[in-house]
Structure 1
Amino acid sequence: MPSTPGSAQADPGLAATREPAAGSRPRWGTFSSLRVRNYRLFFTGQVISNIGTWMQRIAQDWLVLTLSGNDPIALGLAVALQFTPILLLSLWGGVLADRVDKRKLLIAIQAGTGVQAVVLGLLEVTGLVTLPQVYVLCFVLGCLAALEVPTRQSFVAEMVGKDQVANAVALNSSIFNMARIVGPAVAGYVIIWVGTGWLFLANAASTLAVIAALAMMNPAKLFRVPALGRGKGQLRAGLRYVRGRRDLSILMVLVFFVSTFGITFFTSLAIVAAKVFGTKADGYGLLSTLLAAGTFTGALLSARRGSRGRPRLRLLLVSACALGTIEFGAAFMPTYLAFGIALVPLGFATITFLNTANALVQTSVSPEMRGRVMGLYVLVLVGGNPIGGPLTGWMADVFGGRSPFFIGGTVSVLAAVVCAALLARSRRQR
């Protein structure tokens, strides 16, 4: 088995990732990563694909609510089935990302995602779709995502190099959240006009853009590290590596609690739209768009910070606390308009937290461990959704549609305060 770093001292650590290294490459502003051709191709493909992904996400949620008679528990179950594979496969997805050609693996996964969308679209268009079929296809999509996310996250550094990782991570988020502005807004009206099926088929077509972009890349220009050979204990080595880094361990704990209990908007927004304010699909789409407006703005500012230097741990803690505070306040907004406006700063705080966490992990780990560490990061980021999804539906059913917001906000603030105290204690001990 190839040797792996045995201690935290082998890496700069999160606390050290505050200023750019002396003699680093010139800064080119918010879009500096786009100077790299391979990343430009990836960026372009992701713009198209993410719009399709968000159209499918809105259509899928609305299809589940329609088939179940607006049952929030059914929607929570669909979310749980889609994210349960993260618990089972994301760590192994990280190992696989360290072992194989990430670009080729991403092409294969995107092809599978396209097939899943085609099947779901044809079932709906032909009128044959049932709720159990949607559940099965949610699980299939989750299996593909469990392999795709850690591979894609760790592939970012191979495209742009370590100096531009923070900027590229933030630009990826800007794509994702621009798509969240366009995709839900389009999906809400298209569902009313022609139904959900054609949105699934449109998403299948959008995956071709990513496949084409990956195929057109120049492999010789990638910042690759030697592939990890097959061997026993590689997954355990990755877990030991993170356990030996107290800063990384605390970051993972914070991400788990905030993402599981605080960032539940993808389930709870549909519930709030339908059950609290009594709107249809277009109302749900507008709320998603307002949330995305905040996240898009936050992603652009994160990209600007990423072009100037490495991320700060203090920003991660502050953004987690802000996320919880704003989410708690949004729960008590009296009208649809006031609630929608509150989603803009909530989206800003959310994407600042997520981008900072991602960039801190990627810039502070050893390159040969990046796939496995990102696999664990993905696990704690979305692996709690099998808990949070049904829990959100249950809370909305028992305590009212607003309850996921004020409960999630409270948990997020408490998690930020506790993790800040643990980090302060760790520094005093050092």
Structure 2
Amino acid sequence: MTPPKSFAPFRTPGYSGYWLTGLAANFGWHIQLVGASWAMTTLGGTPQLVALVQTSVALPIMLFSLPSGAIADALGRRTTVIWAQAFTLVVSTILAVLAFMGMLTPWLLLVFTFLIGSGKALNNPGWQTRVSEIVAKDTLPQAIALNSVGFNITRSVGPAIGGVIVATVGAFAAFFVNAISNLGVLLVALRWEKMNAADRLPPEPVGSAMVAGLRYVIMSPGILLVMLRGTVFNFAAISVMALLPLVARDLLDGGPQVYGILLGAFGVGAIVSAFAASGLRAKMSLEAVVRAGFAVFAVAAALMAVSRSMPLTLFASALAGSSWLVTMSTFNTTVQLSAPRWVLSRCQSIYMTVAFGGNAFGSLFWGYVAGDLGVAAALYVSAAVLIVGIGVGFVFALRELDTYGLDPHRPWTPPQISLDMLPKSGPVITTIRYRIREQDVPRFLGLMAERRRHRFRDGARRWVLSRDMQDPEVWVERYKTATWIETQRHNQRRTVAGARVAEELRELHREGGRPEVHYELARQPVVPGDHAPIGHVDH
């Protein structure tokens, strides 16, 4: 019997091992979070400090995701995951030892939680986008949803186990479990194939790689919309996760086991909804799915605020988990399907930066609201913010995806160069000459507007289009790249969508064949008295 479409990624070799390893690591992560959150309450933490546990997890992801994504794209996912997991293993072990020796204070706990979050920030872009190299594009949404299922299986079972561990042994045991769980990911990553450098240009410096990622996102309206909507959702919806220990303690008069059960209900709701997510996307538009996610989570937060009974709060938690999974996996899938491979980890990391920025500041904000007005009032306010978020969608609606256009085009063939060029030689000016009939000018200008966006997004600078004043049929496109190697990177980044624009421009070109392309090395004139030789090439 053919497995349901939701399980199609498991037929891909390598995905099952990847999924199971992530499952084990997430078990340790959720057990650690239960230990940290409840340890803060036993250390006498105020509502603000309890909420800061979630902030200390989200803040490093907000701060370090972009550098991590740049490192993953430049050095390879394998390298970043190995270093991240090794770091997390060491820090988690030290935290466990400190807890065992009774040396933890609220602020020391926050510091180590921040460090563990930093390890996850380094790991996440490489690990999460690794799935795009394992499964085919047509099963990528299902694979991302299954990853979320695994995450929420651990969220549903892990916190309950964590609550038992904390209640019977102590928080230090939860921290030890997390340390051990990192070993599996580390061992799997060590078995990944190393990046083949033979067919690649040298890695970009991290700084310029970060700039390239930011530039791509800024020039991609679809990704910007996802980030805006994701930030609003994360800011408002994190109220439930940040205040759930206080819901268990203050609204339900429970202990760590109750907190673990509530987290488990959240995870169960997410798991159930994951199998319906692909069906929803088939029947509803991208925007409709997101609006529904906002609305359902608002209802869940309001129910949790009004409830003083365990069954109703469990239902509210499960409803919140269902909405969280559908909404977040929709955002995640949209980002991964909206970026070409060369910048995928960076786009994912920038999305994570803004999303977890919403988590970090939201956790802090809702903690202070709960401290001043009470837990129930904070949940009511967050529900109101989610309703406002639905209204944002009427102004900034998400667009449907054109995934094929982002596939890489065929490899670029460098021109024959007569100068002695080094990778750092530059700046390089590229000019393309077109001959366009007068009646084709409106269409030509429309295509050039799209090409301009592609050029800037792929790294060009100072793009300009000019028209010959003596021969009006002649148009010249001109742009600059900083160095010769940046020129090569720029051309190798061309996608199918960019190639389609180029093909349409060739059809408008009157002279037949391809428009003339020239690569010129920019030079500064030599001032009399300078010692630079006439034949000097800038490097």
TM-score normalized by the length of structure 1: 0.85
Query: Aligned-pair distance for 1:125?
Result: 1.3
Of the candidates 3, 19, 31, which is equivalent to residue 7 of structure 2? 31
Of the candidates 102, 124, 127, which is equivalent to residue 127 of structure 1? 102
Counterpart residue identity of residue 42, structure 1: Y
Is 1:422 matched up with 2:401?
no
1:365 equivalent in structure 2? 339
Query: Aligned-pair distance for 1:41?
Result: 1.3
Q: Is the 8 A contact 2:222 2:399 kept in 1?
A: no
Query: Aligned-pair distance for 1:379?
Result: 0.7
Of the candidates 249, 272, 290, which is equivalent to residue 316 of structure 1? 290
* Cα 1:363/1:126, change in 2 over 3 Å: same
Query: Aligned-pair distance for 1:378?
Result: 0.3
Is 1:286 matched up with 2:279?
no
Q: Distance in 1 between matches of 2:180 and 2:3?
A: 36
Of the candidates 46, 58, 61, which is equivalent to residue 37 of structure 2? 61
Q: Match of 2:375, SS?
A: coil
Of the candidates 158, 177, 195, which is equivalent to residue 183 of structure 1? 158
Counterpart residue identity of residue 12, structure 2: V
Q: Is the 8 A contact 1:247 1:423 kept in 2?
A: no
* Cα 1:226/1:303, change in 2 over 3 Å: farther
Query: Aligned-pair distance for 1:84?
Result: 2.3
Q: Which 10-residue stretch deviates more, 233-242 or 355-364?
A: 233-242
1:164 equivalent in structure 2? 139
Q: How many pairs were matched up?
A: 398
1:332 equivalent in structure 2? 306
Of the candidates 186, 205, 209, which is equivalent to residue 234 of structure 1? 209
* Cα 1:133/1:49, change in 2 over 3 Å: same
1:28-177 correspondence to structure 2 within 5 Å? 29-67=5-43, 69-177=44-152
Give aligned-pair identity as a percent.
25
2:233 equivalent in structure 1? 258
Query: Aligned-pair distance for 1:215?
Result: 3.0
Is 1:385 matched up with 2:359?
yes
Q: Distance in 2 between matches of 1:372 and 1:105?
A: 13
2:476 equivalent in structure 1? none
Q: Distance in 1 between matches of 2:94 and 2:278?
A: 37
Q: Which 10-residue stretch deviates more, 333-342 or 92-101?
A: 333-342
Counterpart residue identity of residue 63, structure 1: A
Q: Distance in 2 between matches of 1:315 and 1:228?
A: 41
Q: Match of 2:37, SS?
A: helix
Is 1:410 matched up with 2:380?
no
TM-score normalized by the length of structure 2: 0.69
Counterpart residue identity of residue 59, structure 1: G
Counterpart residue identity of residue 317, structure 2: L
Query: Aligned-pair distance for 1:28?
Result: 5.8
Q: Distance in 2 between matches of 1:311 and 1:207?
A: 38
More helix by share: 1
Q: Distance in 2 between matches of 1:172 and 1:343?
A: 20
Q: Is the 8 A contact 1:171 1:303 kept in 2?
A: no
1:353 equivalent in structure 2? 327
What RMSD, in angstroms, separates the aligned Cα atoms of the two structures? 2.8
More strand by share: 2
* Cα 1:425/1:83, change in 2 over 3 Å: closer
Q: Distance in 2 between matches of 1:247 and 1:217?
A: 32
Q: Distance in 2 between matches of 1:122 and 1:311?
A: 50
Q: Match of 1:264, SS?
A: helix
Query: Aligned-pair distance for 1:422?
Result: 2.6
Q: Match of 1:423, SS?
A: coil
Q: Match of 2:14, SS?
A: helix
Query: Aligned-pair distance for 1:140?
Result: 1.0
Q: Is the 8 A contact 1:259 1:382 kept in 2?
A: yes
* Cα 1:227/1:312, change in 2 over 3 Å: farther
Q: Distance in 2 between matches of 1:95 and 1:387?
A: 24
Unpaired runs of 5+ residues, structure 2, are 401-539
Q: Is the 8 A contact 2:265 2:314 kept in 1?
A: yes
Query: Aligned-pair distance for 1:309?
Result: 11
Considering Cα pairs closer than 8 Å and 6+ residues apart, tell me whether 1 or 2 has the greater RCO. Answer: 1
* Cα 1:27/1:339, change in 2 over 3 Å: closer
Runs of 4+ in 1 over 6 A off after TM superposition: 308-311
2:479 equivalent in structure 1? none
Unpaired runs of 5+ residues, structure 1, are 1-25
- Cα-to-partner distance string for 1:377-401 (whole Å, 9 max, x where unaligned): 1011112233112212111111111
